[in-house]
Chain A
Amino acid sequence: MSDIALDDVLGKGWKKPPFVKRAWLRWVLIVGFVAYIIAAFATIEVDWGRVYIGLDRGWQFILSFTRPDFISRWGDIWNGLIESIVMTVAASVVGILISIPIGLGAARNIAPLPVYVICRGIVAISRALQEIIVAILLVAIFGFGPLAGFLTLSFATIGFLSKLLAEDIEAMDRSQAEAIKASGAKWMQWINYGVQPQVMPRLVGLSMYRVDINFRESAILGLVGAGGIGATLNTAFDRYEYDTAAAILILIIGIVMVLEYLSGIIRARVQ
């Protein structure tokens, strides 16, 4: 490109080179994408008669939010909530503790290859198995109740947190860690001084986020028998007690909002 004469390009205007250089390929991609979108929408079948009836039911459901019933099933709601919160806290703590060593092992810049492969494998398995599937399996093994939920959430936390922690470690500033290594530090000291301070804010932020997710998940896991507020919610739906269901949903929303607020404060503090 160095042999372009300045006179040739002056007054010519300039445009950013396109991402896909070959024009025909670019147009094939664009047209193909549009055609795909149209075709995809065309295959969605909508039974408008059914929607019309459903609208009414949906409306009933929404209306019940205006008169949520906290009172008549309060005992069940309270027990469910406590169970969910215990489940969330226990699963988060256990999950976070386990995911720290796995996260260290899954970071290519600090772990030797065999350790890396094993830890990435654990992460991949944990992430591939969706919470509901794990919960169904664990309910089958341990029976109905919060133990299955607790184990499910711990397992899911490991995949989530280890992966993101490992990625943060891989993106850390090498020279800071190198400086600690140059002082003759042992491996644990190196992690404690060279790596941990760099990833701590992200680890705390992610952990708070995971607590939040675990609480929301605990409401879903009840649907497959893994205990918690979800079990109460499921029962309410089964009995068509939309007002009780609304009360539960309002409580879940409230708690998630409180967690969001807390995590904001904590993250600002550890920066």
Chain B
Amino acid sequence: MLRLEKLTKTYKTGDQALKAIDLEVPKGQVLALIGPSGAGKSTMIRCINRLVEPTGGAVMLDDTDLTRLGSGALRKARREMGMIFQEYALVERLTVMENVLSGRLGFVGFWRSFLRRYPQSDVDEAFRLLDRVGLLHMADKRADELSGGQRQRVGICRALIQNPKLLLVDEPTASLDPKTSRQIMRLITELCRERGLAAIINIHDVALAQMFVPRVVGLRLGEIVYDGGPTGLTPDKLTEIYGEEDWEATIEKVDDDEDADIEAAE
């Protein structure tokens, strides 16, 4: 469904962030992108929806090459791709509901969005999503009143209300505590399964990635150096991706059950 062909990004400074990346993501597959800082994870995700302009190669979403689209067509294509951000990137002075509804901006006209008069179906869907992530009672709170985990859940609603085919997720747990991180990862993967969504999740926490996703892609200096299941990440492979370290503690299997009970109790 999504195919990157020789995707290349060279910054003006001459730094090659992505070196001819080839990657295929089938429909409904959730994929974790791991790698050290500066490996090009963030750049890759942003090249897909062209928040960063790639300098070469193609991004095929179904049969459209996103890199060739004009600005109008690009906006239409962006509606198909929901994005979830590190540090949430909610508009802090808007309410939770406005933040969620902003995911519909690509579908409604300017005056509707300006006057906040969204179609009833959008409003209903926003309420449904907020209820799904357990934040219905927060709808009229301002985004900056929420805790980190709550904000990220609003961010997830904002991405999902676009009704996308693909989720681009940039370090969703980078500023969250370990327990909230797991809850967020579980929520994202569950929602992807419910809706048959494909997702690319940038994540620096290898153990967390192994816990939740069926496929891991390792990026190093702009090149793919690992592509396979979570169990194939041996110490050797991690050394190849990140450099020399003692990896035994990281890839230890973590028991997930007690944590699930806590969330169910909430």
Contact = CB atoms under 8 A, between A and B. Distances in A.
Interface of A: 173, 175-176, 178-186, 188-190, 192-194, 197-198, 200-201
A193 B162 CA distance: 16
A198 B106 contact: no
Given A175-B85, A175-B87, 9 more contacts: A179-B89, A179-B90, A183-B83, A183-B105, A185-B106, A189-B110, A189-B113, A192-B110, A192-B113
Interface of B: 49, 51, 75-79, 81-83, 85-87, 89-94, 98, 102-107, 110, 113-114, 155, 158, 162, 168
Contacts of B93: 197-198, 200-201
Contacts of A188: 110, 114
A184 B83 contact: no
A180 B107 CA distance: 13
Contact of B92 (A176, A182, A189): A176
Interface centre among A176, A179, A194 (most CB of B within 10 A): A179
Contact of A197 (B49, B86, B94): B94
A197 B98 CA distance: 11
Contacts of A201: 93
B89 A178 contact: yes
Contacts of A184: 75-79, 105-107, 162
A27 B107 CA distance: 65
A182 B161 CA distance: 13
Nearest to B112: A189
6 contacts: A181-B78, A184-B75, A184-B77, A185-B105, A189-B110, A193-B91
Contacts of A183: 78-79, 82-83, 102-106, 158, 162
Contact of A176 (B76, B79, B89, B104): B89
A193 B110 contact: no
B114 A178 contact: no
B102 A180 contact: yes
B119 to A, nearest CB: 15
Given A183-B79, A184-B75, A189 B105 contact: yes
Given A184-B75, A185-B75, A179 B83 contact: yes
B51 A181 contact: yes
Nearest to A178: B51
The 6 closest A-B pairs by CB, nearest first: A184-B106, A185-B105, A184-B78, A179-B89, A175-B89, A184-B79
